[in-house]
């Protein structure tokens, strides 16, 4: 009987939410979150070079007292991979370890690896997904909309959710480019009835958001000011069309779950791995590159989490 579930977190909300989303979908609401922080010199080493992974973790004795290992451990994010593999080894087979994303060490170190197909991870214990895992559900979207509907109820339809990320190691985001996108949306609003629901993320540079606002001008819109709860999920629920910057596979994957048309706002930069993801998403008709106009189209619904749970069941301990 499964009694104890841990979620190993690298502190990044994006990866943490993927693990929580999987645990919730598996019916495990009584998980314990174990946030790890890695110390020098392990921060500069690839996980496959961590000769003693638990020593790499600050306050590991408090996090993992008495080697009282869980029945199931769910982990995501590169810095968690070596620690998760070490816990599996130290538990002597007691702990069933599920790793989400590319672990950057051999998949055989885990019981199951759940990774996007564009990561090209191989192994008999690998479950491949389209895009990233997420915690989005119909119930979650409805609840978010009920809390934030007052912010957008006066906006005319169709409504467009504009999800702005930020720069990362693959892409750059400039105020000039975001102003250009805002201006293009303003011109669309001059031609037809439409409105915009805009939210940034923790990674969104202030100057880029300001540039977007400048370009958007007086077009009908609501722009989240960064205070209080981010109405991100409410925007997904209320949107007829979704626009997402190209830097985030997670945001695009969450948008695809809604089964609504998605436009990608390209940014300066390149990633062969993400290009593979975008190309596949375009072929499946989930997304289109934004090119100065917006329209609605249909595509078959995707149920990534349901598919994953079904595939995962054959691996889980009885």
**How far does the chain reach from its first CA to its final CA, in angstroms?**
8
Answer yes or no: is 34 within a domain: yes
Taking 80 as the threshold, does the pLDDT of residue 299 lie above it?
Answer: yes
Measured CA to CA, the distance from residue 53 to residue 304 in angstroms comes to: 32
Answer yes or no: is 181 within a domain: yes
Residue-level length of the chain: 318
Name every residue whose Cβ is closer than 8 Å to that of residue 14 and which is 6 or more positions away in sequence: 248, 250
Check whether residue 150 and residue 255 sit in a common domain: yes
Number of domain units in the chain: 2
Answer yes or no: is 294 within a domain: no
Q: Identify whether the C-beta of residue 311 lies closer than 8 Å to the C-beta of residue 125.
A: no
Measured CA to CA, the distance from residue 41 to residue 71 in angstroms comes to: 30
Q: Identify whether the C-beta of residue 203 lies closer than 8 Å to the C-beta of residue 165.
A: yes
**pLDDT for res 2:** 75
Q: What percent of the chain has pLDDT over 90?
A: 74
Name every residue whose Cβ is closer than 8 Å to that of residue 297 and which is 6 or more positions away in sequence: 261, 285, 288
Answer yes or no: is 301 within a domain: no
Check whether residue 95 and residue 214 sit in a common domain: no
Q: Identify whether the C-beta of residue 247 lies closer than 8 Å to the C-beta of residue 168.
A: yes
Answer yes or no: is 298 within a domain: no
Model-level pTM?
Answer: 0.84
Q: Identify whether the C-beta of residue 167 lies closer than 8 Å to the C-beta of residue 201.
A: no
Name every residue whose Cβ is closer than 8 Å to that of residue 97 and which is 6 or more positions away in sequence: 72, 73, 75, 84, 85, 87, 88, 110, 111, 112
Check whether residue 178 and residue 223 sit in a common domain: yes
DSSP-derived 3-state class of residue 44: helix
According to DSSP, residue 5 is labeled E
Taking 90 as the threshold, does the pLDDT of residue 303 lie above it?
Answer: no
| Average pLDDT taken over every residue of the chain | 93
Check whether residue 143 and residue 101 sit in a common domain: no
- What's the whole-number mean pLDDT along residues 259-281? 93
**pLDDT for res 307:** 86
Q: What are 194-253's pLDDT values in tens digits?
A: 999 999 988 899 999 999 999 999 999 999 999 989 999 999 999 999 999 999 898 999
Check whether residue 142 and residue 271 sit in a common domain: yes
Answer yes or no: is 297 within a domain: no
Q: Tokens in use for 169?
A: 């190691």
Check whether residue 76 and residue 19 sit in a common domain: yes
Q: What are 286-298's pLDDT values in tens digits?
A: 999 999 999 999 9
Check whether residue 235 and residue 124 sit in a common domain: no
CATH value at residue 121 = 3.40.50
CATH value at residue 185 = 3.40.50.2000
Number of Cβ within 10 Å of residue 30's Cβ equals 10
Q: Domain of 182?
A: 138-289
In the chain, which ranges are continuous DSSP H helix? 13-25, 60-63, 78-90, 138-152, 175-191, 206-216, 232-238, 249-257, 272-283, 304-312
């Amino acid at each position: 009987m499964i009694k104890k579930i841990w979620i190993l977190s690298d502190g990044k909300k994006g990866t943490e939410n993927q693990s929580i989303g999987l645990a919730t979908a598996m019916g495990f609401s009584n998980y314990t979150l174990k946030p790890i922080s890695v110390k020098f010199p392990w921060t500069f080493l690839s996980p496959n070079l961590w000769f003693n992974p638990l020593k790499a973790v600050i306050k590991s004795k408090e996090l993992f007292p008495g080697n009282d290992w869980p029945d199931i451990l769910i982990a995501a994010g590169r810095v968690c991979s070596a620690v998760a593999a070490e816990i599996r080894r130290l538990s002597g087979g007691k702990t069933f370890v599920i790793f989400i994303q590319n672990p950057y060490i051999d998949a055989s170190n885990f019981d199951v690896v759940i990774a996007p197909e564009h990561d090209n991870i191989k192994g008999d214990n690998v479950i491949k997904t389209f895009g990233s895992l997420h915690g989005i559900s119909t119930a979650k979207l409805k609840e978010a909309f009920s809390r934030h509907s007052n912010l957008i109820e006066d906006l005319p339809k169709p409504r467009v959710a504009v999800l702005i990320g930020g720069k990362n190691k693959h892409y750059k985001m400039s105020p000039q480019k975001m102003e250009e996108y805002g201006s293009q949306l303003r011109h669309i609003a001059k031609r037809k009835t439409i409105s915009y629901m805009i939210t940034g993320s923790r990674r969104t540079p202030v100057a880029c958001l300001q540039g977007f606002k400048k370009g958007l001008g007086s077009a009908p819109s609501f722009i989240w000011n960064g205070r209080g709860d981010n109405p991100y999920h409410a925007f997904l629920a209320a949107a007829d069309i979704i626009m997402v910057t190209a830097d985030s596979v997670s945001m695009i994957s969450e948008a695809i779950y809604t089964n609504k048309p998605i436009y990608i706002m390209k940014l300066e930069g390149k990633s062969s791995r993400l290009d593979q993801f975008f190309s596949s998403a375009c072929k499946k008709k989930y997304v289109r590159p934004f090119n100065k106009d917006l329209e609605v189209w249909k595509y078959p619904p995707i149920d990534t989490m349901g598919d994953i749970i079904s595939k995962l069941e054959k691996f889980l301990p009885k």
